[in-house]
Amino acid sequence: MILRSLVASTALLIASGAVAQTATHAGAHNPAIKTNDAAHVAAPAKGANSFSESQARGRLTKAGYRNVSRLTKDENGVWRGMAVRAGKKVHVGLDYKGDVTAR
């Protein structure tokens, strides 16, 4: 009886480990993964922003915005300014994660 319980417990542990390793989260955002690409998000994240003005301008340019101007850091740590994309003038923002917002 003890042997049967031991075998069943071992099988259960092996099966649960396999399930945990194959689980995926489609579309999950993992902020621990560093990339140099600027993501476009709906709302900027509040937090201490360590980007300099020239780095923020470079990030926005790399994201496809031209004529970036009037960049200032707001009270939430978000770089905000004006830029042109696809021939239209838009308000842009860059948060501490490097994510871009436009409206």
pLDDT 10s digits, 22-32:
545 454 555 55
Does residue 99 sit within a domain? Answer: yes
Contacts of 59 (CB under 8 A, 6+ apart): 38, 51, 94, 98, 100
Domain that holds residue 48: 38-103
Count of structural domains, the chain: 1
Contacts of 96 (CB under 8 A, 6+ apart): 45, 47, 48, 49, 50, 51, 77, 78
Confidence at residue 66, expressed as pLDDT on a 0 to 100 scale: 97
Does residue 29 sit within a domain? Answer: no
Does residue 54 sit within a domain? Answer: yes
Structure pTM? 0.62
What are the tens digits of pLDDT across the range 26-57? 545 555 555 556 678 888 999 999 999 999 99
Top pLDDT among 59 and 30 is at 59
Does residue 20 sit within a domain? Answer: no
Yes or no: say if 102 and 88 are a contact pair by the CB < 8 Å rule. Answer: no
Does residue 21 sit within a domain? Answer: no
Does residue 27 sit within a domain? Answer: no
Does residue 42 sit within a domain? Answer: yes
Does residue 9 sit within a domain? Answer: no
